[in-house]
Amino acid sequence: MSGLVLKARHGLGEKVCAEALVAKDGFSARYDLNRWEGVFSRPAHKLVGYSYVGRILVLDTAKGGVASAWMLHEMQSRNMAPVAIVFNTVNPILAQGAALGGITMLAGFDIDVTQAVPHGATLELDPAKKTLRVVREADGVPVSAQFSHGQREASPIHISPRN
């Protein structure tokens, strides 16, 4: 799977590289996240307990409206935001929120991106080219180390510098 390249129909933001959190689930910054601790907190979410800070979120669809969009901006202002968000489908309001928050986003693939991208893999996103590339596999190690407040931290990440 390493070297897999997917092409999106929509992209915005800067080129980034980070570890992926992948789930066939939706995303609402308002209802799915504890924005103060930096973890998914809605009990029914497939990524509950995982830290999203500094990660690339690969999810099925964007949920929510203006409140979620503003929350992305607020999270970024406190350095508690994901590096990027990747969706099968996205709504215009969340796309505006990603732009306002300075969060890279790709959306609209010909295949289900949540099935194609391995959880824990390192991804490179290039919005100018609208590409997602798997640059490193997840090493086959489960992401399950326990931390305070039930938080589960993924393996170390390497994020490209952002200007």
- pLDDT tops 70 at residue 159: no
* Beta-carbon count within 10 A of 152 CB: 18
Out of 67-76, 114-123, 149-158, pick the least confident.
149-158
Question: Considering the chain, what is the average pLDDT of its residues?
Answer: 85
Q: Which residues of 130-142 are buried (b: 16+ CB within 10 A; e: fewer)?
A: bbbbbebebeeee
Whole-model pTM? Answer: 0.84
Of 132, 93, 150, 112, residue with least CA distance to 5: 132
Angle at alpha carbon of residue 138, lines to 24 and 50, rounded to 5°:
50
Average pLDDT, stretch 91-108? 94
**Segments making up each domain of the chain, as ranges:** 5-150
Per-residue model confidence as pLDDT tens digits over 130-156: 999 999 987 643 333 333 334 444 433
| Distance set, CA 58 to CA 66, 116, 148, 163 (Å) | 21, 10, 24, 23
Q: What is the pLDDT of residues 60-73, one digit of tens each?
A: 999 878 888 889 99
Give the strand pairing for 39-40 and 33-34.
antiparallel
pLDDT confidence bin for 1, thresholds 50/70/90:
low
5-150: in CATH 3.50.30.10 = yes
Residue-wise pLDDT tens digits, 15-33: 999 999 999 999 999 899 9
How confident is the model over 69-78, as a mean pLDDT?
A: 91
- pLDDT of res. 36: 92
pLDDT at 2: 60
pLDDT reported for residue 122: 94
